[in-house]
Amino acid sequence: MCGIAGFVGAGDSLRQAVASLKRLEYRGYDSAGVAYSTGDELRIARCPGKVADLEALIAALPAASGPAIAHTRWATHGRPSEANAHPHGDCTGQLAVVHNGIIENHQAIRQTLLSAGHRIQSETDTEVISHLIEDELVGRRGASGLVEAVRAATQRLHGSFAVAVLWSGAPDVIVAARRDSPLIVGLGDAGAFVASDVPALVGWADRLSALQDGDVALVRGRSVTIWDADGKEREASMMPLTMSREAAEKQGFAHFMLKEIHEQPRAVKETCRGRIGSDGEVALEGLGDAVLELLRSGNVHFVACGTAYHAALIGKRLWDQALRRHADCTVSSEFRYDRPLIDDRTLVVLVSQSGETADTVAAARYARQLGARTLAVVNCMGTSLERETDAALITRAGPEIGVASTKAYSAQVAAMGLLAGQAGWADAGQALSALPDAIEKVLDNEAAIKAIASDLATSNCFFFLGRGHDAAVAAEAALKLKEISYIHAEAYPAGEMKHGPLALVEPGVAVVGLCTRPSTHDKIASNLMEVRARDGRVVTVVSDGLPIPEAATDVIVVPSVSEYMSPIVTMVAMQLLAYYVALARGCSIDQPRNLAKSVTVE
């Protein structure tokens, strides 16, 4: 989604803001822009396209000593164009606003503003914010006047926003505000930063603070002042910035996705560190008695989106199959608009890498309204999801920059194993401890997987088939391929093919059979023969020790581990397959078209 990066301090703030913005490219966007103060006046440069296009646009401009705010826009209201790119100004040309989120009542505000004589130049929902602030600034002066105007204007907005504002009437400050969209402020030797995500600060700031809903922040070169939703000044409570520069950079890998695939042994090891005793018993700290009690004997309902949902499906399977207790699993966007069977004996487990996915955060609120206890399984710390839930289990995958989730998935599935272990799954410790070595073995097979991927890259239709837990893995494998290679890919429980999808199988169709489950191995082997008989190309992923299905034209052997944790091992192979197919097709792997890393709108 959109990205915000602002800087005020020593040096060329124009280029600093754009350099910070470049770190947010992974979030997905289609235009970029920056507003900066020369000391005398406010200027805006913006364009459709990439941050590199913006860099070219500002290349010949002199350094800017005043503050700057930069933005990458992921189009929602109005197509990607120069006019719709942020920052947006007001009628006076003295104000500039960047915004993440969606203003739900923008049409009504737009009508009011137009009737009052405002000239609105873009199709965006954002531009109404600049004109509202313009009105609120009448009669106000200086930095405190801007703070008051931003507060008053944002109070009229429905929906979600993170905004950063420049005004020539307060030429040495940035004012920022948020509701339901993440925004952080940071401080470093050279000055102060505003950003929608931490990578924008790495290497330049050494401490940061996450704004909370309703906060308005005044950011100066050396200080940050924050007022809460009631207008009371509150302490900025700065935390050390711990993300390393290596984490924010590719370190020799061609893409962040490939780097993150290779980081999975560590992601799983870190997620389990200190949570499994020498006796193999899982002991999770900090969840609180009520959550622990519900894990042991309450109802459990998993809720998540995308890859996190696929990890949650493994959680449900652990409950159903390993613990022999019923559990539900629902995508967040369905959960919050349905009437789930939930009460005070229910633990709703919300799984999210970013902790900022709008549907998942809203689902957490809804679950609480229904009387449930809530537990976040989240990778980023200090997020909205953590604040909206009763307890959090932090996965420790480290920062995930590639839009396609890889190491976060492995850490989430490991977390599912930890939760099941805490709930009584006796094999959890042993199953989890075997994973880092098993993942390494899959990574050792990278060249062979790459060769298979290069052969498959011309196929325009993929099926991923599995049974039992492999059916859940098939869904994640299909998602991974489609999001980065743009190939149509579907996942099916293998036995379902003959009930319809088999009609699509013809030469050129690739079918990947996931065969890691001993109890149904013969069954899936037969299902794959049915595909082969229709001239489909069959790639199999087989657990070491199981027979190679007769239908296989290509085979990827993966280490045999506990069937409940094998989704991690299988998915590492499937991530590599998707990566190398996308590479062979020349796709934009870290920033796939139309997608964003953190989906902060509904």
Interacting residue ranges for ligand M6R, rule: CB under 6 A? 305-308, 352-354, 357, 360, 403-405, 479, 483, 595, 598-599
Given 269, 407, 480, 597, the catalytic residue = 597
Tell me the closest approach of the beta carbon of residue 210 to ligand M6R, in angstroms.
16
Q: Which residue's CB is nearer to ligand M6R, number 11 or number 337?
A: 337
Q: How far is CA 117 from the centre of its chain?
A: 40
Please spell the DSSP secondary structure of 446-479, one letter per residue.
Answer: HHHHHHHHHHHTT-SEEEEEESTHHHHHHHHHHH
Q: Is the dihedral of CA 7, 8, 10, 13 positive or negative?
A: positive
Given 2, 305, 515, 587, the catalytic residue = 2
Tell me the closest approach of the beta carbon of residue 220 to ligand M6R, in angstroms.
32
Q: Please compute, for residue 318, the number of CA atoms within 13 A of its CA located in the half-sphere on the CB side.
A: 32
Alpha-carbon distance of 240 to 243, in angstroms, equals 9
Please spell the DSSP secondary structure of 351-375, one letter per residue.
Answer: EESSS--HHHHHHHHHHHHTT-EEE
**Annotation says 2 is catalytic:** yes
- Strand spans (E) along 196-352: 207-210, 216-219, 224-227, 233-234, 239-240, 299-304, 327-331, 346-352
Q: Which residue's CB is nearer to ligand M6R, number 151 or number 262?
A: 262
Structure tokens at 247: 């984490």
Q: Which residue is nearest to ligand M6R (CB)?
A: 306
Tell me the closest approach of the beta carbon of residue 9 to ligand M6R, in angstroms.
31
Tell me the closest approach of the beta carbon of residue 385 to ligand M6R, in angstroms.
8
Contact 351, 311 (CB under 8 A): yes
Q: Give the ranges where 284-383 is alpha helix by DSSP (H).
A: 289-297, 306-317, 332-335, 358-369
Tell me the closest approach of the beta carbon of residue 357 to ligand M6R, in angstroms.
3
Tell me the closest approach of the beta carbon of residue 419 to ligand M6R, in angstroms.
16
Q: Which residue's CB is nearer to ligand M6R, number 306 or number 436?
A: 306
Q: Which residue's CB is nearer to ligand M6R, number 127 or number 263?
A: 263
Q: Which residue's CB is nearer to ligand M6R, number 36 or number 309?
A: 309
Q: Which residue's CB is nearer to ligand M6R, number 16 or number 389?
A: 389
Contact 416, 311 (CB under 8 A): yes
Write down how long the chain is.
602
- Tell me the backbone φ, ψ of residue 360, rounded to 5 degrees: -75, -40
Residues catalogued as catalytic: 2, 597
